[in-house]
Amino acid sequence: MRIIAGSARGVRLVPVPSGVRPTSDRVREAVFNTLGQFFDGGEVLDLYAGTGALGIEALSRGFDGATFVEKNGQAARMVRENLARAGFPEKGEVLRGDVAEVLERLVIEERKFHLIFADPPYKIPPREIGGLLERLAALLTPDGRVVFESGDPTPVLTTESLKGASRRYGGTVVTFLERSEEHTMKLAICPGSFDPITVGHLDVIRRAASIYDHVVVAVGKNVKKGPKVSVEERARLIEKVAGPLENVSVEIIDGLLVEFARERGARVVVKGLRAGSDFESEFQQAQLNRRLYPEFETVFIMAAAEHSFLSSSAVREIASYGGDVRGLVPEEILDTVRRLYVDGQAAASDRG
């Protein structure tokens, strides 16, 4: 494990001991991509701290101080060592004890935090989660955020005081919570088969990302027409081209779009329209989605004129015959698309 960005970028943390489940570098990077890359001061609270990687990452990116809460003595010592390695021995306070008891003390002391990380054991009882969230709300500054990690399925994390949206990264679900009376994160879903992603798709995703706080690109696993490559491969291609967009993440959807959106607290789906012929089917789908999820809105983004003729099916056909798809798919994945779709067609012919 290492510090990803900021003043301590590249610093390697101590090896993780047995029994400690740290937040992976990939999930940690995704979390800070959503929160923002760098910060102008503030205090961080890192609960169930483990290695302390989340709190130390926040210090590296500009927070003034961090309080770490950890019950395990070996893990508490590891946090102190990691603080020293990163050059923050004076900025970190390590409190050893039960999280519930420490939180009660912090509430009595009227401490306030701009950012709170909570990565409890995945089997924590629901009633305990509710009590935990109420205490966190009391410790949060008006414009602060709580980042709550959990397993799958996601526990119910909405309270009268805190509202949020969840995103899945592999087997980890991260929920970003804010005070309900404050501005809540505007989250949009951009679904599709993306078989493969085209420059037209990417243009719509970029434009959606400029409107909403976060965009989840939902890659369909069960596609009626039968995708040419696996959903995992399609998701990897999107991650590669959407990587520079800090408020975009990629997830695989296996089921109803409305259920996927509900799980993440999203109320908007973004669809690209190339021509009037697209509207009829999209209008019908939008009406069905509203029937299943009344708060769910469909927002249409008109394709750029230069992309109005472009579709994944056209790219697949051109690639299958060895045609040039340059300019039709993002340059970063051009060679991969050629390999996947030309080789895939050849392999299918051999099997036939």
267 band by pLDDT with thresholds 50, 70 and 90: confident
- In the numeric block, which tokens belong to residue 206? 């970029």
Instruction: Check: pTM over 0.75? Answer yes or no.
Output: no
What pLDDT, in 10s, does the model give residues 96-123?
999 989 999 999 999 999 999 998 876 6
Q: Are 343 and 243 in contact (CB under 8 A)?
A: no
What pLDDT, in 10s, does the model give residues 308-331?
888 888 998 898 888 889 999 999
What pLDDT, in 10s, does the model give residues 277-297?
788 888 999 999 988 888 889
144 & 195 share domain: no
Q: Are 70 and 96 in contact (CB under 8 A)?
A: yes
The domain spanning residue 163 has which CATH number?
3.40.50.150
226 & 268 share domain: yes
Structural domain includes residue 154: yes
345 & 208 share domain: yes
199 & 59 share domain: no
Q: Is residue 262 annotated as part of the catalytic site, yes or no?
A: no
Instruction: Give pLDDT, residue 350.
Output: 39
78 & 192 share domain: no
Q: Is residue 274 annotated as part of the catalytic site, yes or no?
A: yes
Catalytic entry in 60, 150, 193, 312: 312
Percent of the chain with pLDDT over 90: 42
335 & 294 share domain: yes
Give which of 39, 36, 10 is closest to 25, Cα–Cα: 10
Q: Is residue 224 annotated as part of the catalytic site, yes or no?
A: no
174 & 197 share domain: no
Structural domain includes residue 56: yes
What pLDDT, in 10s, does the model give residues 148-160?
988 766 666 656 6
The domain spanning residue 209 has which CATH number?
3.40.50.620
Catalytic entry in 96, 206, 236, 274: 274
Q: Is residue 281 annotated as part of the catalytic site, yes or no?
A: no
146 & 67 share domain: yes
Q: Are 4 and 246 in contact (CB under 8 A)?
A: no
What pLDDT, in 10s, does the model give residues 231-246?
889 999 999 999 888 8
Catalytic entry in 201, 214, 228, 234: 201
Residue with the bigger pLDDT between 15 and 197: it is 197
The total number of structural domains in the chain stands at 2
Give which of 48, 44, 77, 71 is closest to 60, Cα–Cα: 44
Helix 199-209 crosses helix 231-242 at what angle (to 10 degrees)? 60
Residues 202-210, mean pLDDT to the nearest whole number: 94
- Bridging pattern class, strands 162-169 and 92-96: unpaired
Sign of CA dihedral 143, 146, 152, 156: negative
81 & 199 share domain: no
* HSE value, Cβ hemisphere, 13 Å, CA-based, for 87: 9
Instruction: Give pLDDT, residue 155.
Output: 63
Structural domain includes residue 91: yes
Catalytic entry in 224, 225, 277, 349: 225
Residue 316's domain comprises 187-351
